[in-house]
Chains A and B, each alone.
Chain A
Amino acid sequence: MSLAPPLFLQTIEDTGLSTWLRESESPFAFYFILLFHTFGLALLVGANMIVDLRLLGFARGIPLAPLKRLFVIMWTGFAINAVTGILLVIAYPTKSLTNIDFYIKLALIGFAVWVMQRLQSQVFGEASLSKEAMTARGVALAKWSLVLWFGAITAGRLLAYTYKYLTYP
């Protein structure tokens, strides 16, 4: 069963911004946005991974409390990806919004960010917690965090190989 894509997707594609992003030969168009999306994910998942690895027991010499600083990097990466992500959807609305893999990616990101929030508030949010208490709260969250983020990366990477329409048919 195959439904026709909704017309609003074509409306978005016909706008000046969308067309410029897709068709411009400027190095600051599509590939630039995509590049910053990669930077954002490197910051976001890279920093989160360090916290997760530490909570799971690697490099125990790293004191847990100062790792709170890393959340700044994570949220910066997330902000960069939210903005570049919206621009990427504006550039190729049909390609992304008719692809179920895209929704899987958004769901995985949603859960991963929720876990990140809980890590920040429940593990690193209470200054009075002992290291042992922090770790106890954090272990399960850390495992889920790694799984969800690497799942999101996979879903994102597969977008290039799973789309049905590049532009409105």
Chain B
Amino acid sequence: MNFVQLHLLLNHFPIIGTLVGLGLLFISLSGKNDDLRRASLIIFLAMALLSIPTFFSGPGAEGAIKKLPGVSDELIERHHGAAMLALLFMEITGALALAALWQSREMPRPARWNRSMSAVLLFSIVTVGLMARVGNTGGDIRHPEIAPRKDGVTEELIISKIIHVFEPSPTKFAELMTASKWWWAFMMDLHFVGLVLLIGTVGILDLRVLGFARQIPLDPLHRLLPFAMAGFALNLVTGVLAFIGMDQYYTYDLAFWIKMLAIMLLGLNVAAFYLTGAFESVERMGAGDDAPPLAKFIAATSLFLWFAVITLGRYIQSFSDTISVHK
């Protein structure tokens, strides 16, 4: 598999997945179906997670086709800028969806509609629109038959021109990230702070499920998870900004990609925890109680994968240039 194939495979998720999520959200508005509403939130969360490797596979795909005849650098830059703006809104939508899911757990009877849901609705509509633009501008790169062109330059609709005002310039953004070593040091420092927030809270929860410190009931440990979410958010932001600053460095690094795979697997692991009933089986665990095997397996996997993520992250530096450039 090469970067072009990876990018073309993954890009379906943020573009079509979000549309499906939005469709389910609209349908759930009409009826009293809380399950559909919850499903739409889960889909937004999953698509937000998958958008990350999708975005990261772009520069590799660009590298593979840049020098081919008929490929315009300007069209690639346009698509890249559109992707950056869409990624921002996608991640905000995902964060809001996570907050709404978390809140609905806390309440004895989840509210049918509230401010969180309104925020998700608003941001997901904007995200779907921006993703449509990303898909469009992406297609324009290699499909001259669909883009109305005049003298080799594509003509844009008014709405596209308006959105374009808000799209960052990829080259300027990259330069901004690498302009000062103190900014880079600051971002890396925040990345470690996020790491500690995450490992501290998720780690103690996983250890309790596995049987360590049995005197502590599970529910209060679970209540610390918003700190883990804050840590993850911090690392997502600093990670994406670092990638934008040095995309060639990370793209051709095997450790970086395996780290991304580990993070996606962690997403699956979290889904398994909450959707298979494993959470329900441990949620009321008091002092001295033992967790069932499935919950322990999920907790062990979580610990293993987070330490793998730390390891792979640490080895990024020593694994630079481990993926060959062309292809």
Interface residues of A (CB under 8 A from B): 27, 31, 34-35, 38-39, 41-42, 45-47, 49-50, 53, 58-63, 65-67, 69-70, 150, 153-154, 157-158, 160-161
The size of the chain B interface, using a CB distance under 8 A, is 35
User: Given the complex, which residues of A lie within 8 Å of B197, measured CB to CB?
Assistant: 49
- In the bound assembly, the distance between CA atoms of A38 and B188 in angstroms comes to 13
A130 to chain B, nearest CB (A): 17
In the bound complex, do residue B221 and residue A59 qualify as a contact, i.e. CB atoms below 8 Å apart? yes
Question: Which of A27, A61, A161 makes the CB contact (< 8 A) with B220?
Answer: A61
B52 to chain A, nearest CB (A): 22
With A50-B204, A50-B224 as contacts: A153 and B216 at CB distance below 8 Å: no
With A38-B314, A59-B221, A60-B220 as contacts: A153 and B201 at CB distance below 8 Å: no
Interface 9-mer from B5-13, B68-76, B177-185: B177-185
Interface residues of B (CB under 8 A from A): 181-182, 184-185, 188-189, 192-193, 195-197, 199-201, 203-204, 212-213, 215-217, 219-221, 223-224, 227, 287, 307, 310-311, 314-315, 317-318
In the bound complex, do residue A69 and residue B213 qualify as a contact, i.e. CB atoms below 8 Å apart? yes
User: Chain A interface secondary structure, helix, strand, loop or mixed?
Assistant: helix
Question: Which of A27, A47, A62, A63 makes the CB contact (< 8 A) with B200?
Answer: A47
In the bound complex, do residue A50 and residue B200 qualify as a contact, i.e. CB atoms below 8 Å apart? yes
In the bound complex, do residue B192 and residue A35 qualify as a contact, i.e. CB atoms below 8 Å apart? no
With A47-B204, A59-B224 as contacts: A160 and B310 at CB distance below 8 Å: no
Total inter-chain residue pairs, C-beta < 8 Å: 94
User: Given the complex, which residues of B lie within 8 Å of A47, measured CB to CB?
Assistant: 200, 204
Question: Which of B188, B204, B223, B307 makes the CB contact (< 8 A) with A157?
Answer: B188
- In the bound assembly, the distance between CA atoms of A34 and B204 in angstroms comes to 23
User: Given the complex, which residues of A lie within 8 Å of B217, measured CB to CB?
Assistant: 61-63
Q: Beyond the given A63-B287, A160-B185, please list 11 additional residue pairs across the A-B interface where CB-CB is below 8 A.
A: A31-B318, A35-B314, A42-B199, A50-B201, A61-B220, A62-B221, A63-B217, A66-B213, A67-B213, A150-B193, A157-B192
